[in-house]
Amino acid sequence: MAVAIRRRSSAPTAPSYTLEDVRALSEAHNEPDWLRTARESAWELYEDLPMPTLQDEEWRRTDYSRIRWDEADKLVQANGAKADVVPEANREPLVGEAEGGTMIFVDGGLVHYTFSEELKSQGIIFTDLRTAAIEHPELVRENMMMKAVKPTDGKFAALHAAMWTHGVFLHVPRNRAIEQPFHVVMYNTRPGATMGHVLAVIEENAQALMQVEYASASAEQQSVYIGATELLVGEAANFRYVAIQDWNRNTYEFSHQRARVGKNATLDWINGTMGSQLTKAYLEMELDGYGCNARMSAFFFADKDQHFDLDTQQNHNAPLTTSDLLFKGAAKDVARTVWQGMIKSLPQMQKIDGFQACRNLVLSEDARMDGIPGLEIEADDVICSHAATFGTLEEEPIFYLMSRGISRPEAELMVIEGFFDELLDRIPFERVRERLMQSIEAKILS
Amino acid sequence: MGVTLEIQNLHAKVDGEDISILRGVNLTIKQGEVHAMMGPNGSGKSTLANVLMGNPAYEITEGDILLDGESILEMEPDERSRAGLFLAFQYPVAIPGVTVANFLRHAINARMKEQDPESKGISIPAFRKMMMEKMGKLEMDSSFAGRYLNDGFSGGEKKRAEILQMAVLEPAIAILDETDSGLDIDALRIVAEGVAMLKGPNLGTLVITHYQRILNYIKPDHVHIMFGGRVAESGGAELALRLEEQGYDWVREKYGEPVS
């Protein structure tokens, strides 16, 4: 007993990385000098920042002290596992037989890569981030962690910038419209730390669609995922982005995800959170260009003792911009979810239209869901509204369905699935919708 | 010999409250018969409909409900439905995210699985054909099948959807709880003709209504007046006409104001 207590008190409260680990990453992949410099300056920043605590406003509802950093911070090394270890459901094409491009990472290593020759010949770049840093240094250097997510965004953003392990780079040059989706899977078979990066640059008047899936095999030991997602949507461009997280129950995710949306551009961003032990994600939209339109839709379902903390921002940085945020989530058992959202605008940003809503379905007495909407609007000619609602499963619709011969468990399932349907309906891939409905069903029945 | 629904000395109240709403209802409905239940507001008509279907918001304190001679008091609403009972709701509940087609297929499959646990359920083409045929008879546009159940439906659409469900589920005994209320003349005609179409030797119907007008389409064999939580008067079609002409004053005079 005494031993256990002593071990606990001496357990590290932060990762044990050193500058040597940062350099070793660069060395192992023979990275160009600019990237080494970028990593090392991010490392300095990381060292200067304190670990977030419950005393920080953004973190006061999320206690991650259960992480055993001495096991979770070990960088995962790819050990030759092939794409076939990834569940079929994650690997199968999103729609039809072919995709614009597919990348499957296992334990941080790229194990499967396809990219349409036709798209390649059009000048589109879809490659893993390490390769991109060597083959397209200017494009990566000017965009990666320079415009959307920055190392200064926080402790974990700085750590990510210093130590990212793998990533994907999508670049669509101006005036290129691509119908076939890009599909990325980041799958881990082994516990430990991975730090994936998603960088999408959609140039002026271009159009594209991408889905990224995160998942891992269950493991006894803990894992951490320190991620960053950057979506740069240029003037009059149109980008649809779907991200679905289904980590194993011993994974802690800390991620910064931010989109910048240019003049008259459209962003349609869908986010799903199903897995992990604990997730703290910043999901932010910067509406930079006059007349742009950005939508963020998210679904989440927490069960057992899962903890999700989703922190959103809709920053209206230009007049006549429209943002629309809809989150729908459920929690059962002793799960805990937090959504805190903010719509911001500066005084001169007139004629903006911002909306945010978070609908919470509380499925057990011991589950707890928080929804904290926020507005900071300094302009006066604006339409901004927000709502957070909380409900339990109502008896009325259940009775109605049962009166048609449907059993109670099935009726409950239908009502809960119906609750999510409106959101899943926004995902442009039927196979993905069906798969997600199945995992929601599994959580309801578990 | 068809199925019989027997309501015997039924007393019921809202769960958790003291006052009885039903105070000894007796009524027998046989397959093939049409009964109309009329009565002023608050007489207990809708409560009777809900209690028959097993709405958990009500508690039965005395009496029994027999379907084909077997008590259904211990049966859950879904079991009652699969046993042949149907309730067309006065206020159908919206179920966002569940389409009419998806819902109906679940309801049919629940019945098929009851008869044969191995059943895989109705095939999608067979289901579509059947549904479209029934929707056509009720003058419903085919796009209706893809809409979320009762979500954003007009009053007329909700009631038509109830009759569609009845047509699809083919109950032995159907209770129509003020299916005619809130409908304009055209909607009433469509709904009432829909019900009239389903009339036949295999369907017993209890039509709960305030108005004589629906009974012009669905000719009742028996008319009852509910008052103070009991069936106060029973008779033929002439009873409905008398109510239409004279209102309920004579009933109140005869039976007095209900006592709590």
Mark yes or no for CB contact A405/B95 under 8 Å. Answer: no
Residues of chain B with CATH 3.40.50.300: 4-92+171-255
Give me the residue from A403, A415, A421 closest to B77, CB to CB: A403
Give me the residue from A400, A402, A417 closest to B76, CB to CB: A402
Residue B256: the pLDDT is 81
Q: Please say if the pLDDT value at position A119 is more than 90.
A: yes
A417, closest residue in chain B (CA to CA): B97
Residues in chain B, total: 260
The answer to whether position A165 is within a domain reads yes
Mark yes or no for CB contact A422/B96 under 8 Å. Answer: yes
Give me the residue from A396, A405, A414 closest to B98, CB to CB: A414
Residue A5: the pLDDT is 47
Q: Does B117 touch chain A (CB under 8 A)?
A: no
B77, closest residue in chain A (CA to CA): A403
The contact set of A with B (CB < 8 A) is 395-397, 399-408, 410-411, 414-415, 417-422
Q: Calculate how close chain A gets to B119, using CA atoms only, in Å.
A: 15
Q: Does B70 touch chain A (CB under 8 A)?
A: no
With beta carbons under 8 A apart, name residues in chain B contacting A408.
76, 78
The answer to whether position A189 is within a domain reads yes
Q: Please say if the pLDDT value at position B182 is more than 70.
A: yes
Residues in chain A, total: 446
Q: What tokens appear for B149 in the block? A: 């159940």
Identify the CA nearest to B163 among candidates B152, B144, A372.
B144
Q: Does B82 touch chain A (CB under 8 A)?
A: yes
Mark yes or no for CB contact B81/A403 under 8 Å. Answer: yes
Residue B260: the pLDDT is 43
Distance of CA B175 to the CA centre of its chain: 2
Mark yes or no for CB contact A418/B93 under 8 Å. Answer: no
Q: How far apart are CA A195 and CA A186, in angstroms?
A: 10
B221 burial level (CB within 10 Å; 0-12, 13-18, 19+): middle
Residue A275 bridge partners (DSSP): none
**DSSP category for residue A137:** H
Confidence of residue B187 (pLDDT cuts 50, 70, 90): confident
Mark yes or no for CB contact B95/A399 under 8 Å. Answer: no
Query: Which 3 state secondary structure label does DSSP give A51?
Result: coil
B105, closest residue in chain A (CA to CA): A406
- Out of A246, A270, A289, a domain closes at A289
Confidence of residue A117 (pLDDT cuts 50, 70, 90): very high
The owner of tokens 């546009």 is B141
Q: How far apart are CA B183 and CA B206, in angstroms?
A: 19
Mark yes or no for CB contact B93/A407 under 8 Å. Answer: no
The answer to whether position A374 is within a domain reads no
- What CATH code would you report for B4-92+171-255? 3.40.50.300
Mark yes or no for CB contact A415/B93 under 8 Å. Answer: no
The owner of tokens 């109502």 is A394
pLDDT in tens, A234-250: 999 999 999 999 999 99
With beta carbons under 8 A apart, name residues in chain A contacting B89.
400, 403
Residue A2: the pLDDT is 44
Residue A285: the pLDDT is 98
Mark yes or no for CB contact B97/A404 under 8 Å. Answer: no
Q: Calculate how close chain A gets to B239, using CA atoms only, in Å.
A: 31
Mark yes or no for CB contact B82/A410 under 8 Å. Answer: no
Give me the residue from B96, B97, B106 closest to A406, CB to CB: B106
The answer to whether position A355 is within a domain reads no
Phi, psi of A302 (to 5 degrees): -110, 135
Phi, psi of B185 (to 5 degrees): -55, -45
pLDDT in tens, A262-286: 999 999 999 999 999 999 999 999 9
The answer on A409 and A272 residing in a single domain is: no
With beta carbons under 8 A apart, name residues in chain A contacting B97.
417-422
The letter for the amino acid at A212 is: V
Q: How far apart are CA A211 and CA A105, in angstroms?
A: 14
Q: Please say if the pLDDT value at position A19 is more than 60.
A: yes
The answer on A403 and A262 residing in a single domain is: no
b/e burial code for range A210-221 (CB count within 10 A of at least 16 → b): bbbbbbbbebee
Residue A272 bridge partners (DSSP): A244, A299
Lay out the sheet containing B204-208: strands in order across: B85-88, B173-177, B204-208, B34-38, B222-227, B230-235
- Out of A271, A289, A307, a domain closes at A289
The answer to whether position A361 is within a domain reads no
Residue B67 vs residues A399, B45, B107, B191: alpha-carbon distances, Å: 20, 19, 20, 27
Mark yes or no for CB contact A405/B114 under 8 Å. Answer: yes
Q: Calculate how close chain B gets to A97, using CA atoms only, in Å.
A: 24
Mark yes or no for CB contact B95/A422 under 8 Å. Answer: no
pLDDT in tens, A357-414: 999 999 999 999 999 999 998 888 889 889 999 999 999 999 999 999 999 999 999 9
pTM: 0.90
The answer to whether position A320 is within a domain reads no
How many CB atoms are closer than 10 A to CB A363? 20
- Under 8 Å between Cβ of B206 and B176: yes
The answer to whether position A255 is within a domain reads yes
Q: Please say if the pLDDT value at position A4 is more than 50.
A: no
pLDDT in tens, B18-63: 999 999 999 999 999 999 999 998 899 999 999 999 999 999 999 9
The answer on A74 and A216 residing in a single domain is: yes
Find the distance separating the first CA and the last CA of chain B, reported in whole Å: 40
Mark yes or no for CB contact B96/A418 under 8 Å. Answer: yes
Strand B222-227 to B230-235 pairing? antiparallel
Domain count of chain A?
2
**3-state SS track over chain B:** CCCEEEEEEEEEEECCCCCEEEEEEEEEEECCCEEEEECCCCCCHHHHHHHHHCCCCEEEEEEEEEECCEECCCCCHHHHHHCCEEEECCCCCCCCCCEHHHHHHHHHHHHHHHHCCCCCCCCHHHHHHHHHHHHHHCCCCHHHHHCECCCCCCHHHHHHHHHHHHHHHCCCEEEEECCCCCCCHHHHHHHHHHHHHHCECCEEEEEECCCCHHHHCCCCCEEEEEECCEEEEEECHHHHHHHHHHCCHHHHHHHCCCCC
pLDDT in tens, B149-179: 999 999 999 999 999 999 999 999 999 999 9
Q: How many CB pairs under 8 A join A and B?
A: 83
Confidence of residue B1 (pLDDT cuts 50, 70, 90): low
**Ramachandran region, residue B178 (left: φ > 0; alpha: ψ -120 to 50; beta: rest):** left
Q: What tokens appear for A50 in the block? A: 């304190």
Residue B27 bridge partners (DSSP): B7
Mark yes or no for CB contact A418/B114 under 8 Å. Answer: no
Q: Calculate how close chain A gets to B209, using CA atoms only, in Å.
A: 20
Residue A377 vs residues A10, A78, A212, A385: alpha-carbon distances, Å: 46, 48, 33, 11
- Under 8 Å between Cβ of B188 and B196: no
Q: Report the percent of chain A where pLDDT is more than 70.
A: 98
Residue A6: the pLDDT is 47
Confidence of residue A16 (pLDDT cuts 50, 70, 90): very high
Mark yes or no for CB contact B77/A399 under 8 Å. Answer: yes
Q: Report the percent of chain A where pLDDT is more than 90.
A: 92
The answer to whether position A305 is within a domain reads no
To 10 degrees, what angle do helices A19-28 and A155-163 make?
Answer: 40
Q: Calculate how close chain A gets to B240, using CA atoms only, in Å.
A: 29
The predicted model gives A241-260 an average pLDDT of: 98
Angle at A51 between CA A219 and CA A166, to 5 degrees: 50
Query: Which 3 state secondary structure label does DSSP give A62?
Result: coil
Mark yes or no for CB contact A422/B106 under 8 Å. Answer: no
Restricting to B residues 164-203, those with a Cβ less than 8 Å away from any Cβ of A are 165, 169
A414, closest residue in chain B (CA to CA): B98
**DSSP category for residue A174:** T
Q: How far apart are CA A208 and CA A240, in angstroms?
A: 6
| Residue A436 domain boundaries | 399-446
Mark yes or no for CB contact A406/B89 under 8 Å. Answer: no
Residue A347: the pLDDT is 83
Q: Please say if the pLDDT value at position A3 is more than 60.
A: no
ipTM: 0.96
Identify the CA nearest to A352 among candidates A308, A383, A310.
A383
- Under 8 Å between Cβ of A50 and A173: no
pLDDT in tens, B73-124: 999 999 999 999 999 999 999 999 999 999 999 999 999 998 999 999 999 9
Mark yes or no for CB contact A418/B81 under 8 Å. Answer: no
The answer on A240 and A106 residing in a single domain is: yes
Residue A280 vs residues A64, A221, A335, B105: alpha-carbon distances, Å: 9, 20, 14, 40
Q: What tokens appear for B222 in the block? A: 């028996």
Q: How far apart are CA A66 and CA A78, in angstroms?
A: 26
